[in-house]
Structure 1
Amino acid sequence: MGLAGVMAAKAAGCETIVAVDLVDERLELARELGATHTINSSTTENVSKEIRKTTGGLDLAMEAVGLEAVIRDALKSLRSPGIGATVGLQGFANPIAVDQSHLLMGRTLTGVIEGDADPHQLIPHLVDWWRAGIFPFDRLVSEYSFDDLATAIDDLRAGRVVKPILRMGPA
């Protein structure tokens, strides 16, 4: 979801696009897809502070992990006012706590499910963007034969692929 958010932000004309990840290869891909700034959260002590220092704060933030710390960083990286959207999901029993001062500063936290869009309108629009070369979602997928399931899982866990797709039957 995060890399799709980077592509959508670029396609929508956003000037500043920050990608945060733990894996340098995904951050490199994020730059290729339109991120203007990248931060490796495994080597950055305070992600939200780094974002604010580098950009002056964001108008919009999307987190795609669903972890409390990441949601909090997304909120703290916003200007006032600003909107943070959480699209990541760690499971339905996933309580989070946010500092109310982040909301009282004019920031909004909203939840998004399946893009909060009508798929009959959104999917053709995304396909049009793909055809125009501005939403290259095919760069996020790697195909594996079903016999290579273990390799696909290993590659996903190691961060070598974003979305492995298993092919059933002959190639």
Structure 2
Amino acid sequence: MPAPEPPEQQTPTEAWVARPNNKLNLESIHYSTLAPHEVLVDIVAASLCHTDIRTAAGTFHLSPPLILGHEASGYVRSVGSSVTYVHPGDAVVLAYASCGECRRCEMGKVAYCEQLFQLNFSGREGAAHDVEGKEVHGLFFGQSSMARVALVRERSCVRISSPCSREELRGFASLGCGVQTGAGAIMNVAKPAKGARIVVFGAGAVGLSAVMAARLREPERLVLVDNSAVKLEMISRELLGGVVVVNSAALSHDELVAKLKGLTADGRGMDYALDCVGHEAVVNAAYQCLDKMGMVMNVGGSATARPQYEVERNLVNGLTIRGTHQGDSDPRVMIPQLIEMHRAGSFPFDKLLTSFGFEDLHKAIEDTHVGRVIKPILFT
């Protein structure tokens, strides 16, 4: 049987396509005609996140075959008939999609959009095809941006209105998910007062973004916890000024909790504990190290973790258990804010980044797995 005819007005490009059985290939694909609220973006850089790795393995919401990528930046090539927010030539950073119309979006809580799953994990029938004319899923997180040209939902675009060089725009590729999640957990959710006690579990891009944001709040104590000596060693010293680093590898649960409480002036514990890992034991430690009126925030994702909370302890101590998606960030507000902070020298997220060629995704994944890099960026 001959292969189906490709869609008319197709746009050819190359993209990283996840196939079943954890196969990941750089393939020629083509897009169909733009839907009214879709945009084509010439990608200058795409950032690798652990969620991309999980998705390639078939353990996330949208199953292979699909085009990976949900953190990127580039220039608008063309727009659908109803697009008004961006125009060809605009520099954009790409983030998750939201509808902009539901009750949550109207409240400014776009991270909790009522159509979040549909817009980010359902794709669109007929949007992208491979060389055999077979469909591959696109619009992952509204963008599937690990491509030289990406088909993107308009609501995934964050326009950079200030002058921006191509080199600077490449670095901004990392802001669309992990970085805004970690920073947003501090800036939008915790909002700690000066002199607060804060512990961050997990020294990846999310956790270190939270640390950078927390340093700006002038905490009494700021602690970073991880169990990888390799990872802790490679963190730029510029990011760790005033931060107490704890390697938890050799510590039992009780020892870790006691150590964290002991790092506070009165030994009572932390005001804010951010779990950027999603591991059950980590969440339990975060909970147990809290002082009265403290808050533990679930920032790292997990489908299986079942942490143990004590109702009586919550009640008597006034504790808060709080999840946060994307750091409660509205990308069109948060990303320009992070860019402004970076340009002012107060949020040096570029210290997290390691550059790879666009063809070197497998190398980037390998280096991520073994802890040689924190945040890989693929340059097109």
Whether the 8 Å CA contact 1:19–1:27 is kept in 2: the answer is no
1:24 deviates by: 2.2
Residue type of the alignment partner of 1:97? Q
Q: Who is 1:97 aligned against?
A: 308
Residue type of the alignment partner of 2:293? P
Whether the 8 Å CA contact 1:61–1:75 is kept in 2: the answer is yes
Q: Alignment partner for residue 278 of structure 2, among 63, 66, 91?
A: 66
Q: Who is 2:57 aligned against?
A: none
Residue type of the alignment partner of 1:49? A
1:73-112 equivalences in 2 (<5 Å): 73-91=285-303, 94-104=305-315, 105-112=317-324
Whether the 8 Å CA contact 2:342–2:348 is kept in 1: the answer is yes
Q: Deviations over 1:111-160 (max 9, x none)?
A: 00111132222211111111111111111121111333332222111211
**Distance 1:94-1:72 versus aligned 2 partners, 3 A rule:** closer
SS in structure 2 opposite 1:89? coil
Counterparts of 1:73 and 1:31, CA distance in 2: 26
1:30 deviates by: 7.0
Counterparts of 2:230 and 2:216, CA distance in 1: 22
Query: After alignment, is 94-103 or 135-144 more displaced?
Result: 94-103
1:32 aligns with 2:211: no
Residue type of the alignment partner of 1:110? R
Q: Who is 1:127 aligned against?
A: 339
Residue type of the alignment partner of 2:326? E
1:43 aligns with 2:250: yes
**Distance 1:112-1:31 versus aligned 2 partners, 3 A rule:** farther
Q: Alignment partner for residue 153 of structure 1, among 365, 368, 380?
A: 365
% identical equivalent positions: 38
Q: Deviations over 1:58-114 (max 9, x none)?
A: 1111110111111111111111111111110023x5443323344232211100011
Residue type of the alignment partner of 1:15? E
Whether the 8 Å CA contact 1:6–1:30 is kept in 2: the answer is no
Unaligned 5+ segments in structure 2 are 1-205
> Which has the larger helix fraction?
1
1:165 deviates by: 2.0
Counterparts of 1:102 and 1:94, CA distance in 2: 20
**Distance 1:25-1:85 versus aligned 2 partners, 3 A rule:** same
SS in structure 2 opposite 1:17? strand
Counterparts of 1:119 and 1:12, CA distance in 2: 21
SS in structure 1 opposite 2:359? helix
**Distance 1:152-1:142 versus aligned 2 partners, 3 A rule:** same
Counterparts of 1:31 and 1:60, CA distance in 2: 23
1:31 deviates by: 5.4
Q: Alignment partner for residue 53 of structure 1, among 262, 284, 295?
A: 262
TM-score (norm 2): 0.41
Bigger Cα Rg: 2
Q: Who is 2:216 aligned against?
A: 11
Indicate the RMSD between aligned Cα atoms, in angstroms: 2.0
Residue type of the alignment partner of 2:349? F
SS in structure 2 opposite 1:49? helix
Residue type of the alignment partner of 1:146? F
TM-score (norm 1): 0.86
SS in structure 2 opposite 1:147? coil
Aligned residues: 167
Q: Who is 2:106 aligned against?
A: none
Whether the 8 Å CA contact 1:86–1:110 is kept in 2: the answer is yes
Residue type of the alignment partner of 1:54? L
Query: After alignment, is 32-41 or 7-16 more displaced?
Result: 32-41
1:51 deviates by: 0.4
Query: After alignment, is 51-60 or 1-10 more displaced?
Result: 51-60
